[in-house]
Structure 1
Amino acid sequence: MNLKNAKTIDSDSYFSDRAMLVLEDGEVYTGMAFGAAGTTIGEIVFATGMTGYQETLTDPSYDRQIVVQTFPHIGNTGVNDQDGESARIWVAGYVVREPSPNVSSWRARGSLQDQLVDQGIVGISHIDTRRLVRHLRSAGVMRAGIFSGPSAALDGEGRPRIMQDFLDQVRSAPRMSGSHLTGEVSTDGSYTVEPAGDFLGKEPLCTVAALDLGIKSMTPHRLAERGCRVHVLPVDTTIEKIHALNPDGVFFSNGPGDPSTADDEVALLRQVLAAGLPFFGICLGNQLLGRALGFDTYKLKFGHRGINQPVMDLNTGKVEITAHNHGFAVDAPKGKPVQAPYAGGRYGRVRVSHVDLNDEVVEGLECLDIPAFSVQYHPEAAAGPHDASYLFDRFIDLMRNAKGGKAHA
């Protein structure tokens, strides 16, 4: 329904087990409370994955976002101790069509409902998520609020709220555009992930300094299983700290927020590039490389979120099915290589290496005169297809080639 009349809500009867989703344009959806009771407000976005809800919930890139799952049945495999991409749930709220009443998995350690309650995540279920997503695709993502529990319908003096109160709360919340959020999700202190798998206990092939902008735990693991020692560093790391680690390469992770606000991170990346250190960036890391090279970024109408996005590698013509989570993109020219605009082209030539086949959004950048490249999507595949795992191998080749050059020098 659409908010047209400012009706008073009877909190005792209405919010005992029900919930309300209010969008900033006045659209209202009523359903059942799911997870913790209360109020939450954030940017509402949708994720199209048919699996991987636990990885989605724990992805720090979803900080301050209410996530709508387009797949209708969520929670059937419960939650486990292996699939989380961080130590906590990061979504601001959760919207599903039909939560599973049962948990069926040999790995399960509990139910999704219980974990949402334990971590205070407010959600709503039993709404028409197909209609909601169609509306967001048409109108664009926007601010929204989920309201449930008796206290949600009372104002600060204990009086019943009217519908307009909910809309006012939503419209007074900060927008995602202009939000700098990496400091909220980055690690408080550095830590090291040692080589794993076939390289367990062996000397590392390469050492990587990884800036945590909201890193998913599978990313350093993908490097570690290829023989890398990965130093995961907080967002306020200096170039001196990076040099002290004597890394063979630098990695910038995924993360939340508007890349146009990340001036300190861009300044650090320019120092990395000026030092000649091989660089690889994923997601926000791709946007920051674009900014470091002198390109602008912009907000997408509804973004890419899910594990079924077709991307073409323009160097090979190969199409990859890839995992995405981004609402911003790099504004760089596709086609022939161009001089990177920053500082009169000091970083040489750059080309767009990958594009999304659904909407032609830039999905990768490759520098031709310095050792740096990035992609907008998630080759760590947590959850998602493994089509893009070769990008980690490309980064290792870049680092090893640079090491070989140093040896000859």
Structure 2
Amino acid sequence: MTSPHDKLKDVWLYLANGLFFKAKSFGAEKTSVGELVFNTSLTGYQEITTDPSYAGQFICFTMPEIGIVGTNKQDMESRGIFAKGILCHHYNSKFSNFRAEESLGEFLKKFNTMGICAIPTRLLTRTLREEGAMMMIASTEISNKNELKKLLESSPKIEEINYIKEVSTQTPYQHYKGKFDFQSMDYTTPKTYQKILAIDFGIKQSILNQLVSAGFGVEVIPHDFEAQSLIARYAQGEFDGIFLSNGPGDPQVLHTEIAEIKKLIAAKIPLFAICLGHQLLSLAHGYPTHKLKFGHHGGNHPVKNLLTQEIEITAQNHNYSVPESIQEVAEVTHRNLFDNTIEGVRYKNALICSFQHHPEAGPGPLESTMLFNAFAKLLQDAKA
């Protein structure tokens, strides 16, 4: 019996632990090196693939069927794809959705991104759970195991690469769109009550939409900001707070950004951060982050709000965590119930709060979206 995969081009994979696979390619035909992680989300493969936080990584989907709903413009989380590629068990080239514009394979090729199928994703996921996230190489051009091994070993590790310059905006811009309304099939335009600067380390569109929906006028600025310029603008009343965004890679390599964030902290500017921004705040306060064994990537992570004792099912995408010692300067407000790692903090004697999980989801449950409104209220109360 033939399979639709039989018509696809062969692709070969070599993992840092020595595993070697022959699979099928439905995306760009090339040779690429990146870190392999797994994602447990059941839906939203386009949002996940276009999340800039995946820059430098291959995403192994545990959901066995990928491609069913195609792709469209509304589900873009950034201007393109920064991930190295995606891996799935079964790729569906035929899609069915009233919003779909093209297949996932066509979408990946347009952004020169690899798509790999007909591979045992359960084995890959179990391997990563047992051995941790690891580097891999995939190629539609090279089939020799030893040659792939040599190329992988000579390539830089993901911890050695600064992807922020690649994913961040180069020029400031205003973001006006709120959440997408599926009844009108358009974005909402909520009333603005306060202004916030969003520092782009790889920001998702869903985060910007949620900030606007919480009543913020949003100005997005590049990662290479100068703190003194922002401090002067804050003193002139040009904005009410600063948001530090999500982003890819190891936060400890961002020495310049950490130094500038220290100045923002010293200036007592209200700060709100998610994911990489959360980690950078920890580093700026003098508390080094550490890499998790295989990270948190998916839409089903239970997080306990220690302030309300409520449980929220959250979306996650990170490989690094802040240390327990951060409690010397911050109150822990949220914890992950899978491994008890810190998911949220509120700094003492400062209007600064940050969260490891993604309250905007995109994709995932929206149980934590109230965090955007909570920060807006903190700013309003501070001015009262």
Q: 2:108 is paired with a residue of what secondary structure?
A: helix
Q: Is the 8 A contact 2:315 2:365 kept in 1?
A: yes
| CA distance in structure 1 between the partners assigned to 2:77 and 2:381 by the alignment | 31
Cα distance in structure 1, aligned partners of 2:376 and 2:97: 36
Aligned partner of residue 119 in structure 2, secondary structure: coil
Cα 1:383/1:201, change in 2 over 3 Å = closer
2:190 & 2:9 partners in 1: Cα distance?
53
Q: Determine whether 1:162 maps to 2:144.
A: yes
Q: Which residue does the alignment assign to 1:239?
A: 227
Query: Displacement, 1:196?
Result: 4.5
Distance across 1 between alignment mates of 2:21 and 2:383 = 57
The structure having more radius of gyration, on CA atoms, is 1
- The yes-or-no answer on 1:225 pairing with 2:236 is no
Match of 2:23 among 31, 36, 41: 31
Structure 2 SS opposite 1:241: helix
Q: Which residue of 2 aligns with 1:355?
A: 335
> Cα offset for 1:274?
1.5
Task: Pick closer, same or farther for the CA change 1:84–1:196 going to 2, 3 Å.
Answer: closer
RMSD: 1.9
Q: Deviations over 1:305-353 (max 9, x none)?
A: 011111111222211110111001111248xx52x3xxxxxxxxx1222
Partner of 1:5: none
CA offsets 1:24-75 (integer angstroms, 9 cap, x no match)? 1110122111211121110011111000100011000000101111100000
Match of 1:294 among 273, 286, 290: 286
Letter of the 2:324 counterpart: A
State the TM-score, normalizing by the size of structure 1.
0.86
CA shift for structure 1 position 188 = 0.7
* Correspondence for 1:189 among 171, 174, 178: 171
Distance 1:134 1:208, change over 3 A: same
- Counterpart position of 1:9: none
Distance change >3 Å, CA 40–CA 15, structure 1 → 2 = farther
Q: Which amino acid aligns with 1:112?
A: L
Query: Is 1:174 the counterpart of 2:153 in the alignment?
Result: no
1:251 maps onto 2:243 in alignment: yes
SS in 2 for 1:113: helix
Letter in 2 for 1:241: S
Superposed CA offset, 1:144-198 (max 9, x none): 01111xxx12xxxxxxx63211011112221122432211210010001137579
Distance 1:320 1:333 in 2: 24
CA contact (8 A) 1:95 1:123 kept: yes
Structure 2: distance between partners of 1:47 and 1:167? 25
Is the 2:190–2:213 contact (alpha carbons within 8 Å) kept by the matching residues of 1?
A: no
State the aligned residue count.
368
Name 1:323's counterpart in structure 2: 315
Unaligned runs of 5+ in 2: 1-5, 180-186
* Aligned with 2:365 (options 364, 371, 385): 385
Residues 242-272 of structure 1 show CA distances to partners (whole Å, capped at 9, x for unaligned) of 2426210100000011111112212222221
Contact between 2:215 and 2:376, CA under 8 Å: does it hold in 1? no
Pair 1:107-2:99 in alignment: yes
Where 1:35 maps in the other structure, the secondary structure is: coil
TM-score in terms of structure 2 length: 0.92
Q: Is residue 2:57 matched to residue 1:65?
A: yes
Q: Does 1:78 align with 2:70?
A: yes
Q: Compare 86-95 and 370-379 and name the one that shifted more.
A: 86-95
CA-CA distance at 1:403 after TM superposition: 2.2
Query: Which residue of 114, 120, 134 maps to 2:126?
Result: 134
1:372 aligns with: 352
Q: Which residue of 1 aligns with 2:183?
A: none
CA gap of 1:41–1:113, structure 2 versus 1, over 3 A, is same
CA distance in 1, matches of 2:173, 2:318: 26
Cα deviation, 1:80-138, whole Å, max 9, x if unaligned, reads: 11011011112101111001131100000010011112221122101110011101111
Q: Distance in 1 between matches of 2:173 and 2:48?
A: 23
Shift of 1:16: 7.7
Cross-structure match for 1:347: none
Would you say the 8 A contact 2:20–2:145 is kept in 1?
no
